[in-house]
Amino acid sequence: MVVRSSMAWPFLLLLASLLAPRMDALELAYVLPDPLPVGMEATGQLRLTGEHVDQISDLKLLPTEGLELRLLHHRTGRFVTAAGTAGVIMEVDVIARLEGNWALPQVEIQRQGQRQQLDSGQFLEVQGRQGFLGHEASAQVRFQPDHILPGQATEMLLRVFAPERSGWEVDSDWQPRLGSWARSLGSTSRQRGYALDAQGRLWEVTSLRMGLTSAVSGGQVYGAPVPLQRRNRQGPVQERRLNLAPATLLVHDISHLGLASGVSPIIGPLAMSAELDRERIRVGEGARLRLRIRGPQLDQLPAPQIPAIPGLRIYPVPQRGGSERGQRDWDFQVIPETAGDYTIPAFELSWLDPQTRSYRQSTSEALNLEVFGAPEAPGQIAQAPAAPVLPARTALADEPQAPLVPLWREVSARLPLGWLWWGFVLALVCGALLPWAWRLRHWRPQPHRGRQLARALASGDLAQANRLADALIGPALPLPQRQRALQALRALEAARFGDQPLSAEERAILMELQEYP
């Protein structure tokens, strides 16, 4: 039989997609001095982390506006993250060409015969020479982006400039205190670097980044002073407060959409998909249903609800571990009670488009499940015939009884080399375990941060309790508990700086975090 080429192409494409190797997700990150003066040349790092990162055969930087980056391929190394993920690190040279806030370039890689583009989502600020003039420490703050919709994520970037070797640095326990209009989306990250001014003076730059959002419309202002410290070898610690020029975050009014006051919509774009691991099962067996949603702010999503389907029992499966960035999965166990053909309806989710400021809807596909015949009852299974019963042999009193010999001694006696063979086996096992013991020589158990938080609250160490609570509050907590914990964290910060005492209810909410490591 001859198959026409026009009919063969779909089958070839389907076969190629099935045989194509799976591309695991890689994460791209830059480590560069930020900000940079115009015309300044600096050296930084490019980091790639993920599974099978050693299979990359080609890597190049795509052009970008305002910046010029060059890879130094002869300066490449490997590292392993705290989570055990392998990574590759490369040095890069960057030249700031134009003043502005520029996106760092994408990277194109070739792995397993396929090309893939990675984006870090990071920005580098290039300032004019006048931005570094002066002899005293200074600070700058801004929001990027500085205009959002209610519930949309933004980032507050605060930079502190201090003369080199002046000794002034930001208090290590200090966290930016936001008003009631803001909601933090995670802990504050710190990064230290250096920058040159027009006269060639070197400045120490401390950058603090905090993800946040707001549900209150209007212009929200942040400009709290930044506490600095200078530690002397013999004298007391010097302290001062650095005034900060206020920055404004504009939260657009979307009351025309009919939302209640203080309610944040789900910001898109979102993409949904649903799949069953088995489409044909028997009565009493189970199938795994997975709903996957991709989007920018998935921590706001509530758990999806599946309507009752007669003949099917559906149970949610608890999530274990974290999801990939920008992706979240929900699993359900589906168990049929009667035979037949079932249809699991499509999932629907409405989200707000930040570009058009209007609602859009994402829908997954409906799934079909075929359930056939129940398995045979246990009573209907044919049983094997019973083995014939042999007459028991009774030992006579005068028969000599052989002494019991351990099995290992009997085997050793029958071997040609005896104990020498057992010594060789023991040496082989020790040699196989020696590399693992060498790797674990520096292993130390990780401290339980939840119990440390409880001890800090009991002893009154509010600075330690603030740092531990800020690290424990994250996406792993259920949404209602995370909201209560964030409110208690703000009260803890206020109590720490002497604004108001910490109430018993707020202390109890923070004590609930001791269950988490």
Q: Answer yes or no: is pLDDT of 510 > 50.
A: yes
The whole-number average pLDDT for the span 304-327 is: 78
Whole-number pLDDT of residue 425: 83
CA–CA distance, 308 with 323 (Å, rounded to integer): 27
Q: What is the SS3 assignment for 428?
A: helix
The whole-number average pLDDT for the span 295-321 is: 80
Whole-number pLDDT of residue 384: 43
Q: Answer yes or no: is pLDDT of 1 > 50.
A: no
Q: Answer yes or no: is pLDDT of 405 > 60.
A: no
Q: Answer yes or no: is pLDDT of 175 > 60.
A: yes
User: In terms of pLDDT, which residue wins out, 175 or 37?
Assistant: 175
Whole-number pLDDT of residue 389: 46
CA–CA distance, 84 with 87 (Å, rounded to integer): 9
User: In terms of pLDDT, which residue wins out, 368 or 462?
Assistant: 368
The whole-number average pLDDT for the span 23-34 is: 77
Whole-number pLDDT of residue 133: 43
pLDDT digits (tens, 9 = 90+) for 234-263: 667 778 888 888 889 988 887 776 665 545
pTM: predicted TM-score of the whole model, two decimal places: 0.44
Cβ burial, residue 182 (10 Å; 0-12/13-18/19+): buried
- Percentage of the chain beyond pLDDT 90 is 3
Q: Cβ(351)–Cβ(268) under 8 Å?
A: yes
**Residues 455-474 as b or e (16 or more Cβ within 10 Å = b):** ebbeeeebebbbbbbbebbe
Nearest to 482 by CA among 183, 139, 263: 183
514 backbone dihedrals φ, ψ, rounded to 5°:
-70, -10
The whole-number average pLDDT for the span 45-69 is: 84
Whole-number pLDDT of residue 83: 62
Indicate the fold that domain 23-126 takes in CATH.
Answer: Immunoglobulin-like (2.60.40)
Whole-number pLDDT of residue 226: 87
Q: Cβ(183)–Cβ(213) under 8 Å?
A: yes
Whole-number pLDDT of residue 258: 64
Distance of CA 276 to the CA centre of its chain: 25
Contacts of 170 (CB under 8 A, 6+ apart): 160, 190, 206, 208, 226, 227, 228, 229
CA–CA distance, 169 with 160 (Å, rounded to integer): 8
Q: Cβ(151)–Cβ(300) under 8 Å?
A: yes
Beta-ladder partners of 341: 370
Query: How far, in Å, are 436, 450, 468, 478, 487 from residue 491 at the CA level?
Result: 47, 18, 15, 20, 6
Q: Answer yes or no: is pLDDT of 335 > 60.
A: yes
Q: For residue 86, which amino acid is it?
A: A
Whole-number pLDDT of residue 374: 64
CATH code, 129-257: 2.60.40
pLDDT digits (tens, 9 = 90+) for 337-375: 899 999 999 988 888 887 777 788 888 889 999 998 765
User: In terms of pLDDT, which residue wins out, 406 or 112?
Assistant: 112
Q: Cβ(246)–Cβ(158) under 8 Å?
A: no
Q: Cβ(292)–Cβ(329) under 8 Å?
A: yes
Per-domain residue ranges for the chain? Answer: 23-126, 129-257, 271-372, 449-515
Equal CATH topology for 129-257 and 271-372 = yes
Indicate the fold that domain 271-372 takes in CATH.
Answer: Immunoglobulin-like (2.60.40)
pLDDT digits (tens, 9 = 90+) for 112-136: 778 888 888 888 888 765 444 445 6
* Highest-pLDDT range among 3-7, 265-269, 305-309: 305-309
Whole-number pLDDT of residue 323: 53
- Percentage of the chain beyond pLDDT 70 is 74
Whether the upstream peptide bond of residue 345 has omega within 30° of 0, thus cis, is no
Contacts of 206 (CB under 8 A, 6+ apart): 159, 160, 162, 169, 170, 190, 191, 192
